[in-house]
Amino acid sequence: MQTGASTDQGVAHETGRVLKQVFGFDSFRPNQEEIVQAILDQRDAFVVMPTGGGKSLCYQLPAHAMPGTCMVISPLISLMKDQVDAAAATGLRAAYLNSALKAKERVAVQRDLMAGELDLIYVSPERFAMEEFIDVLGHVDLAFTAIDEAHCISEWGHDFRPDYLNLSTLTKRFPDVPVAAFTATATHRVQEDIVTRLGLRRPHVVRASFNRPNLFYKVVPKQKAMQQILRFVKDHAGESGIIYRTTRNSVEETAAMLAEAGIKALPYHAGLDPETRAANQDAFNRDEVDVVVATIAFGMGIDKSNVRYVLHGDLPKNIESYYQETGRAGRDGDPAQCLLLFGYADIPKIRYFLDQILDADEQQHALRCLNEMVNFATVHVCRRTALLKYFGETYPESNCGGCDVCAGEVERVDATRDAQMILSAIARTGERFGMMHVVDVVAGADTERIRQLGHDQIKTYGVGKDREKRYWRFLLDNLLAQGVVEQTEGKYPVLQLCPPSREVLFGERQVHVLRTRKSAPKRKAGAATAVEAYDEALFDELRGLRRRLAAARRIPPYVIFSDRTLHEMARKFPVTGAQMLRISGVGEAKLEKYGKPFMEAIAEFREGRGAGA
């Protein structure tokens, strides 16, 4: 008779075998094994796992191992084909059902589904809402259901979608089918809401660490945004990146500016027709362009693994959105950059939209979220610590090594005396003028308006003429962000003093600001450290081969092999099947489909270099 312990060992051995043979990995990433085990044990599960944590493996491996069909419910209609291609590359019989399919194609997929010919089926929440589809599922042997982007069911989440509410019937309609809900971001409040709405039954709960150690977080003052964006993109030439802008106009202008500078960039926003949006997204996914400039309409669930940077040209409305969007960088585990351009002028724009929210509680919640985002950008604490704290997690180290604060790229300086100059200028001009006029007064600008108003005669006129105007605008941004100064609403906002202003003026309160160091030290080892050395020439050759193979098969390059896998090939030079299977990310199915041309390319490269390569 087999004991429980030996049974557990047998299951662990089997999952380990599938992990190696099918997916090409020697070991699970943190939390993956216990999630897989819960699904294999037919338990409900709730999983918070950051982007890049290996979420898809948690349901693809059980789909390989269990009889029946795994149904994945996902809102990512535009990405379902790529997700199916990625699953098929591991040997799964996979398909999708959504509105993008023609009627004949939908009938064929449903026929295969009902005949038990599919291991994995992707469907949208709208499809699940259709009674005729529910009837189809009644004839299907469902192994389990995985719900992707599960935060969309919570009205307290950052991306609530009403069509997700119908998923609350899932456990009632199919009481014997386990449900695993996955999300990359959820506060404890959102987590409780998801579990309740989905009716999960004593779920196995996993809250993986929200820490993404390969991401480097940096915030710089927004001054001339277009120039800053162009300079950053040129510094990362040839790398894949996403630039987020708030409005459609700014998306179009930024994409056009980059294109004029010779950078392969395309726009993405809800104002484009569906065909153009899909074509631009495909071009980015398939490495045909380096940069996509987008509104938040782009990106949820992006599977592209080799995004090397995410740049926010405008302030996100909350930390959850920022975390989700930066999480699209570095999914392959290699270092990636996350840059935020922060300017106070973005805040009133966001406030305008928040003021349109009718529900008072919802509006207050949104305002609190905005304030937390502003604090993240302006307070001198480790960026990683601040992000993790928002999600209820404590970062154990005093220095993460992976943000501008910890790397010493910014410094906290006492700006109390300069703040007093600005506040005095606001007071002496009667609290009736906007930012630019106050800056002109402090900087001693010689303008007709200043002379007409007699502001060239007040005591604070020209007290800051030894500094550039942009410094005084930067300081005012900080005073507004810290609540030391207030700004009225309306078409012509003016600056006004408030109780904290008077505390600063009378020396009862200090003002500190973050400033980029003129000579920033080299980044310390730790988070976002360099990739282990590899042969760059071979990597470039393998990347070109991958691109050609992907184009011929009409799939994204990352479906074949990730950059990380190519890096390892360019370190170890595998030229036999056995050597190739020892490369992380190369399983038996991928070896059979793609191994030969890569081994031939490596062998030819070695011959060109000499046998000692």
Q: For the segment 528-552, what is each residue's pLDDT rounded down to a tens digit?
A: 445 678 999 999 999 999 999 999 9
Share of the chain above pLDDT 90, in %: 54
How many angstroms separate the CA atoms of 151 and 336, rounded? 25
DSSP E strand boundaries for 382-509 = 410-414, 485-487, 495-497
pLDDT at 526 over 70: no
pLDDT at 376 over 70: yes
Band the pLDDT of 5: cuts 50, 70, 90. very low
Q: For the segment 100-133, what is each residue's pLDDT rounded down to a tens digit?
A: 788 999 999 999 999 999 999 999 999 998 989 9
How many angstroms separate the CA atoms of 558 and 586, rounded? 12
Question: What integer pLDDT is reported at residue 464 of this predicted model?
Answer: 94
Band the pLDDT of 3: cuts 50, 70, 90. very low
Tokens matching residue 251:
């998306």
pLDDT at 322 over 50: yes
Higher pLDDT, 9 or 158: 158
**For range 56-85, the mean pLDDT:** 89
What is the average pLDDT score of the chain?
88
Question: What integer pLDDT is reported at residue 523 of this predicted model?
Answer: 47
How many angstroms separate the CA atoms of 361 and 384, rounded? 29
* All structural domains of the chain: 14-207 (3.40.50.300), 215-409 (3.40.50.300), 413-516 (1.10.10.10), 536-609 (1.10.150.80)
Q: pTM for the whole thing?
A: 0.76
Q: For the segment 243-293, what is each residue's pLDDT rounded down to a tens digit?
A: 999 999 999 999 999 999 999 999 999 889 888 988 898 899 888 999 999
Share of the chain above pLDDT 70, in %: 93
Tell how strand 120-123 and strand 69-73 pair up. Answer: parallel
The CA-CA-CA angle for residues 301, 307, 308, to 5°, reads: 145
**For range 204-216, the mean pLDDT:** 92
Tokens matching residue 604:
């030819």
Question: What integer pLDDT is reported at residue 362 of this predicted model?
Answer: 82
DSSP E strand boundaries for 234-333 = 240-244, 265-268, 291-294, 307-312
Question: What integer pLDDT is reported at residue 75 of this predicted model?
Answer: 83
Q: Determine contact, residues 198/164, Cβ cutoff 8 Å.
A: no
Band the pLDDT of 347: cuts 50, 70, 90. confident
pLDDT at 613 over 60: no
Q: For the segment 386-428, what is each residue's pLDDT rounded down to a tens digit?
A: 999 888 888 988 899 999 999 988 888 899 999 999 999 999 9
Which of 549, 538, 540, 543 lies closest to 575, judged by CA? 538
